[in-house]
Amino acid sequence: MDKNISSKQILNDMISRHYKEALEAKKSGERVAWATSIVPQELLETMDIKVVYPENHAAVLGARKDAPAFLRNAENNGYSNDLCSYARVNIGYANLKESAAGNIPMPDFIFCCNNICNTVIKWYENLAREMRIPMILIDTPFNHTFDVPGHSVKYIREQFNHAIGQLEQITGKKFDHDRFKEVMKISAETARWWKKATALAAAQPSPFNGFDLFNYMAVIVCMRGKQEGLDLFKLWAEELQGKIDRGEGPWKDQPEKYRVMWDGIACWPHLADTSKILRKNGINLITSTYPDSWTIVYDSDDLDAMARAYSSNYANRNLAYGAGNIVQIVKDFSLDGIIYHSNRSCKLMDFRQYEVQRQVQEQTGVASVIFDGDQTDPGAFSLAQYETRIQALMEMMEQRRNERLSRR
């Protein structure tokens, strides 16, 4: 990796190559999979299968203002507009198969893991049935207890073994267990460096604007098991540490006035609007609940630990864990406020958001607001409401800051 090129430049090139190589693989007759965002990709990487992640692709279409045609297509074919917009965009794309914002190859099989939500099961089942292709499912029970119970670990681990047999049948190739250990090692190390890089945002001032986090997140989704993904996060961490050492903040033309967390998926069609309003007011989005979701760390010779790691992400944990996690983030990152995105698409995360907000505020006193939006459906977002909420957040943050100063 050329150290004279920034990690952001390398990131853009890597994502472009990711889609290009998948399209070329399909043309050459190789098998291609569609997979959910926190799937045990180690199994696919070991088999050298090209993988495309519909959630990533839907986010790209949303950010490039090309989602509405696919949303309409899905709705015209009977899918409710209350369904997750990632699902509707992807289902619409599976029908139309063409986007000016970027294309992906059609899958030869589906690989689904429900550790992010249960919507993905029916979404992927419908795709598999309509395309008449195989579907592999890794079922991760929701963790109602605080820790992942042993019986869940055993259940998930046995599914890994079953999935290996399914992959061998689909590809006609034998699974290489030595290669599997190598991929596991790379994947876990990549996750460690992702965590190290994102944790550097705790510095004051923070070395990066958290909207960059959403861009780098694409790589932790689709290249966690590749050496180039590991190299990218090492370089990014090195760049961020350099900025900290030089005392540089997120922007060259203004200081970091307030530090906030974003809870929920980005509003991809309105990414520019949501970020500009924060920057205009000196509000730096420095973190979210996302870094921990992809910090999938385990020992490379421990399949039980890998099973536990894939069941441990934020979306698959109970409300008490979720609230406690944010309380810790408030402390670790010295936050002034929290922006909760009440995402119409993500019922699992946002149904409990008001109670999480109440518990976090009670335990930390941190200022917070909730605004309505959606990850890819542009019609569910109001810029006026968002701006009003941010103004209210600023007033609360300023009031709390003045109260702290008066107590000194």
**Per-residue pLDDT tens over the stretch 290-315:** 878 888 999 878 999 999 999 999 88
Q: Give the predicted TM-score (pTM) of the model.
A: 0.94
| 236 φ/ψ angles, rounded to the nearest 5 degrees | -60, -45
pLDDT of residue 55: 95
pLDDT of residue 406: 79
Token pair of 192, please? Answer: 């460690």
CA separation (Å) from 109 to 30, 250, 279, 384?
A: 12, 42, 43, 43
Q: Which residues of the chain have pLDDT under 50?
A: none
Chain mean pLDDT for the chain? 94
Token pair of 282, please? Answer: 């000196």
pLDDT of residue 126: 97
With left for phi above 0 and alpha for psi between -120 and 50, is residue 29 left, alpha or beta? left
Nearest alpha carbon to residue 61 among 80, 87, 81: 87
pLDDT of residue 3: 61
Give the other-Cβ count within 10 Å of 115's Cβ.
28
Domains in the chain: ranges and CATH? 7-176 (3.40.50.11890), 180-407 (3.40.50.11900)
Cβ 167 vs Cβ 138: under 8 Å: no
